[in-house]
Amino acid sequence: MPYFASPAGCVARARQRRGLTAIGIVLSVAVAGCAPDAIRPERPYDAFLDRVQKHCGNLRLGPAFIDTLLRDQDPYLLDLTSRFFNGKVSRQNFVDALESFYNAPADSPGIGCILRQMPAPGSPPPLSVPPAVR
C-alpha cells in the first residue's frame, strides 16, 4: 500500500524549507556584507606590504619577526596596517596598537621601519607592478 503524507505534514515541511531558505539568504547577505573589499586586491596596499616585507622583514615586533607575521598573514597586523594605510587609524593610534598588542616599544626599529614605508602624504601611492610600456 503506498504511503501518502497528510496535508498537515506537507504544510509543516514546506514551512520548514521556507524557514531554512530564509536563514540561508540572510546568512549569505550578512557574510557578503562583512568586508566587501577583503577579497578584492588592493595594489597600493599590496605594494606597501611588499616594501615592509623587503625593508623590515628582519626586524621584530615584540617577540615576532615582521617577515614571519606577514608570511603567516597575521590577521591583526594585516587589519591594522590596512586601516593605517587607508587613513582610518592615526599614526599615534597605529603605534599604540602595535605597542600594546605585540609588546613592542613605540620607538622599536620594527615600528619605525613600518612607518617609514608609508608613502608621503599627498603623493600617489606606488604601483605594485611597473606600468605597461606601450
Q: How confident is the model over 18-34, as pLDDT tens digits?
A: 665 656 565 554 444 44
Tell me what pLDDT residue 50 has: 94
Is a pLDDT exceeding 80 seen at residue 97? yes
Cβ neighbours for 104, distance < 8 A, ≥ 6 positions apart: 60, 61, 62, 98, 110, 111
17 CB-near residues (< 8 Å, 6+ apart): none
Do the Cβ atoms of 71 and 58 come closer than 8 Å?
Answer: no
For the cut 80, the answer to whether the pLDDT of residue 102 exceeds it is yes
Residues whose CB falls within 8 Å of the CB of residue 125, separated by 6 or more in sequence, listed in order: 44, 47, 48, 119
Give the pLDDT mean for 36-61: 82
Give the mean pLDDT of the chain.
Answer: 79
